[in-house]
Amino acid sequence: MRKPSSALLLLLCATLFLSLVSVCAQEPSKAPAKPAPPQSGNPPSQNPGAQNAQSEQQDLRKAIDDAANDRAALVKNLEAFLKKYPESPQRPQIYRALVEASLQLRDFARAKDYAERMVSLNPEDISNTVLTIELLERYGDIPGYRRAVFYTSRVLEYLDRSPTSEKSPRVSPEDWAAAVKRDKSSLLLVRGRLYSKLGDTANAEEDFEASYALLPSASAAERLGEIAELKKDFNGAILQYARAFTLTDGTNGAPSRKEIRKKIGNVWRLAHGSDDGLGDYLLRNLDDTMAAAAPAHGAKNPNAKEPYDFVLRKVKDGSPVSLGDAKGKILVLNFWATWCGPCRELEPHFDRIAASYADKTDVVFYALNCDDDESLVLPFLESMKPKTTTLFADGLEHLLGVVAFPTTVILDRNGKIAFRVDGFDPDGFEKLLAAAVERIARASGATSPTAAVRP
């Protein structure tokens, strides 16, 4: 579960009185038809329980109606109601409404109290428990931090034993596992902060490390850097601060890159006497951290030794494309990435050359994407609308030694590199590529495209 923000605190209690109003808006049951006079002279028996429930519901409705939009009056009225009906079955909704109203009144002590009462009534309600942990961390004291540690541990245990069968049918097992991983990482970070407030550095460090291992985050790395700095482990602090510097975006509670820069500069000078070398270190660490934090995709084509061994995937639907089927043909490959500006500029030029060979079955054009995060690619293509078949490179870029983007490679009919250009020159690219395709085609007896290629 992600750490709730102040806005989320209100959202978690957004039932403001919806549940209460729902309960109270129910019309009292209509009185039954007047019964026939009893045979004996005794009056008909009454149901005291039903009468008490009806009186309780009327009193609750009155408590809400009398408060109108006055949150302070609502708190007073609901507390008076609870004093009169301490075992009311509506307590969960009433406690939630009291938490929300108390937060709006900035009465955090009262909000904490009723939040913990909600947890006591229903320990399995995870959203209420997370709200309570948030309140205790922000506005609690030492005993409150200890209780928050207990609540956080209980939620973590719940996540560990939560079966996949509880997921919605609309959620894939992969997305379910990713969500649980995200929630556990966030809760470990929260519990680590609570341990820090309690002065338990050892347990705090253990939780921050576990949180970072599950899902690398700037917040966990910063906390680990602070602990290392306190231990005078300056090299360890530099590593963690560099990770935080790379990962932070400064939003949603993430640390400020400016503040992280100050921290890493300070420990670097303590360790090295000056800022010399810090820039190079940050760049190297950026590459390492981003690679480690990238979404994991199983190694594709791990046993491929030559281009024809590769089976690639269409970006559009994931269907396989075997390069082995292109044996004896000329393969024209454009390696690109969504973040690469020159790749976007090259794409229409590559499309035009490919279109000019559309009726030639012995010359095949593929655009091969090399993004680490594959989720970015399909939306990008839907925006750009390229005409050339687009596949994931799936490791072919490593076999062919592609280290910069864009890179255009032509493989001859034997699968050997016959042409290669790194980068993109808009003035001569089309003419250069068209001439290369023609040269390779003539060398193997292929015919020219029917459409003229315009540079």
pLDDT band of 293, cuts 50, 70, 90: low
Taking residues 190-217, report their average pLDDT. Answer: 96
pLDDT of residue 289: 81
Q: What is the pLDDT of residues 57-88, one digit of tens each?
A: 999 999 999 998 899 999 999 999 999 999 99
**Superfamily designation of domain 307-443:** Glutaredoxin (3.40.30.10)
Spatial distance between the Cα atoms of 291 and 296, rounded to a whole number of angstroms: 10
Spatial distance between the Cα atoms of 308 and 58, rounded to a whole number of angstroms: 79
Q: Is 366 left (phi over 0), alpha (psi -120 to 50) or beta?
A: beta
Q: Which residues contact 150 (CB under 8 A, 6 or more apart)?
A: none
Spatial distance between the Cα atoms of 78 and 63, rounded to a whole number of angstroms: 6
Spatial distance between the Cα atoms of 134 and 139, rounded to a whole number of angstroms: 8
Intrachain domains 6-26+53-280 and 307-443 with the same fold = no
Q: Report which of 52, 66, 54 is spatially closest to residue 17, judged by C-alpha positions.
A: 66
* C-beta of residue 59 within 8 angstroms of C-beta of residue 85: yes
Q: How far is CA 319 from the centre of its chain?
A: 27
Q: State phi, psi for 260 to the nearest 5 degrees.
A: -65, -40
Residue 162 has pLDDT above 90, yes or no: no
Lowest mean pLDDT among 223-227, 241-245, 261-265, 293-297: 293-297
* C-beta of residue 437 within 8 angstroms of C-beta of residue 363: yes
> Could you tell me the residue ranges of all domains in the chain?
6-26+53-280, 307-443
Residue 102 has pLDDT above 90, yes or no: yes
* C-beta of residue 269 within 8 angstroms of C-beta of residue 275: yes
DSSP state of 359: T
DSSP state of 249: -
pLDDT band of 91, cuts 50, 70, 90: very high
* C-beta of residue 337 within 8 angstroms of C-beta of residue 405: yes
Residue 173 has pLDDT above 90, yes or no: no
Q: How far is CA 125 from the centre of its chain?
A: 22
Q: Which CATH class is domain 6-26+53-280?
A: mainly alpha
pLDDT band of 164, cuts 50, 70, 90: confident
pLDDT of residue 10: 37
Q: What is the pLDDT of residues 126-148, one digit of tens each?
A: 989 999 999 999 999 999 999 99
